[in-house]
Amino acid sequence: MADLETNPLGLTFTNRFTRDLPADPIVENTRRQVHGACFSRVEPTPTAAPRLIAHSAEVAELLGISPEHVATEAFAAVFNGNLVTADMDPYAMCYGGHQFGNWAGQLGDGRAIALGEVRAADGSFQTLQLKGSGPTPYSRGADGRAVLRSSIREFLCSEAMFHLGVPTTRALSLTLSGDDVMRDMFYDGRSAFEPGAVVCRVAPSFLRFGSFQLFPARDDVDTLRTLVEWTIRTDFAHLGAPDDGPVPNDIITKWFAEICRTTADLMVHWMRVGFVHGVMNTDNLSILGLTIDYGPYGWLEGFDPEWTPNTTDAGRRRYRYGNQPAVAHWNLVQLANAIAPLYAPDDASGLSDEEAEAAFREQVRPLQDAVDSFATRFDTGWNEMMAERLGFSGLRADDNELFGELGRVLQLVETDMTIFHRRLADVDVAGATQATDDALVAAIADAWYVEPTDEQRGEMATWLRRWADRVIADDRASGTAADERIAQMNAINPKYVLRNWMAQLAIDRSEAGDHDGITELLEVLRLPYDEQPDYEDRFFVKRPEWARERAGCSMLSCSS
């Protein structure tokens, strides 16, 4: 592996994470339990033939990487892991977490290696992390690699979510490694070689809830405090923590309360666009309220609150679409439990066990208050979002009933969520009262996967009339013109989302050597709210029947 004195891409590395936080003292890249450290230094493992097949021009611009640099062999070598320069400080993070509701102990970056932190063109700090770049001390029995299919999905979804306005980590590049990787896609004993790939992920921080859970689980409160205080001073400087000395509990509480707020806001965004994460383990929730770790995710096609894209979760459906806010709340409780030891009274001497316990409960009460605020924040945000996507300028007391009834009628017959909400703006509101049922539902009829019965059609028409009456009254009261309302609805209800079957078609082409499908999808997803008539016939359509049960087009496994 080459080691250059200067960075060939013009990046400026700052590496505050490895400079300031405790490191694993063992330098050998062996699988092991790591104690008292936030990370282990480890370099990516070089591969046979790095080749860039896609990149995000917006992320490159954010980082200050010119198009000329992107076109160089050094770009592919750096962001595949074959070229580490002297100013980088590669590492894998140490963390734990709850997986599917059960404590899993140490997890860590098993196939992700951060090259380091850079100062971006806008002055922000961004960490560059390679996913699929080789084994780390946290890989357990795995090889630390990623395959092309999952890497395409992560690359496209990271950028799709950003352009939808959903907080997310970003993706700079997608490279083929030149090596084949053995995977058992369905965990059924049919392992096969697949092309390997590496995604460069970009975020201000990759810290997640699980980063703070591992240390108290090991009674290592000192390292927990070090990480919490560093995180607050580094990523939450606006909270006003002192530059030196302990961070007081009231600042820690403000930090945790902000995490509760941004997580609630993230859930509103997910529910708005119909995104289902699929693996909402505590190690997969970001402390910055970003969507992180794109594994077996998916978008609702037929509206079904019980749907999950994860085959591993098919039985319990813990991470189903409709349960995501509740899981986020549960995960926040686990984070509160993890940082609670920081609130222990400094001096409990002379107190009985009961008195000490009561004093501790009083100290951590603000954490409980912050957790409790999550539901209010989410409920308020969800109601405001629903009002906006239905074209209302504000909320009325009876709107919750209207929202709930919509959820019911969308499930009377399999109805595409994205198409329905986009087509709703085309309904003739002024003529709704006099229109026949058939005429009224015509605008949204292409959202149905099967032909509804007359009764089902009638129930949808009844809801549409109620909605139209509400819209007309709202428009009159607010002075909103019809074209203004339609523009508002189209600005929040996307036309184009990364449906699993679309991603799979791009994967099929890429595995056959044609990577243009990735670039084309990326172009469409950059403007998800625009009409884009050249793409409408292919990308604003319901899931084709052939994709209903095909692997990769509906549910997916964690195998990558």
CA pair distance 217, 226, nearest whole angstrom: 15
Placement of tokens 């979804």 in the chain: 157
10 found inside a domain: no
Q: What is the pLDDT of residue 1?
A: 42
Q: Single out the residue in 184, 206, 228 at which a domain terminates.
A: 206
Check residue 2 and give its pLDDT: 42
Query: 515 and 468 in one domain?
Result: no
Kindly give the parts of the chain with pLDDT less than 70.
Answer: 1-5, 186-188, 347-349, 557-560
Indicate if 313 and 458 belong to the same structural domain.
no
| Set 283, 293, 313, 475: catalytic member | 283
* Same-domain status, 408 and 351: no
Asked whether residue 7 is domain-assigned, the answer is no
- Please report whether residue 40 resides in a domain: yes
Q: Which of 185, 206, 227 is the last residue of a domain?
A: 206
Same domain, 122 and 237: no
C-alpha 201/C-alpha 183 separation (Å) is 22
Q: Which of 332, 359, 388 is the last residue in one of the domains?
A: 388
Output the pLDDT for position 324.
98
Helices (runs of H) and strands (runs of E) counted in the chain: 18, 12
Residue 317 lies in a domain: yes
Q: 36 with 134, same domain?
A: yes
Q: Is residue 6 part of a domain?
A: no
Quickly list DSSP for 215-236.
Answer: HHHTT-HHHHHHHHHHHHHHH-
171 plus 215 within the same structural domain: no
How many structural domains compose the chain?
4
For residues 259 and 365, membership in a common domain is answered with yes
> Would you say residue 363 lies in a domain?
yes
> Do 75 and 119 reside in the same domain of the chain?
yes
Domain span at residue 510 reads 500-547
**DSSP per-residue letters across 82-129:** SB--TT---EEE--EEEETTEEEEE---SSEEEEEEEE-TTS-EEEEE
Is 283 labeled as catalytic in the residue annotation? yes
Q: In terms of domains, do 69 and 158 share one?
A: yes
Nearest to 181 by CA among 136, 114, 130, 134: 134
Same domain, 414 and 312: no
Same domain flag for 197 and 219:
no
Residues 465 and 525 occupy one common structural domain: no
- Cα separation, 326 vs 322, whole angstroms: 8
- Give the model's pLDDT for residue 186: 64
How far apart CA 399 and CA 362 sit, in angstroms, is 39
Q: Is residue 8 part of a domain?
A: no
Amino acid at residue number 143: D
pLDDT at 541: 97
pLDDT in the model for residue 348: 66
Structural domain contains residue 11: no
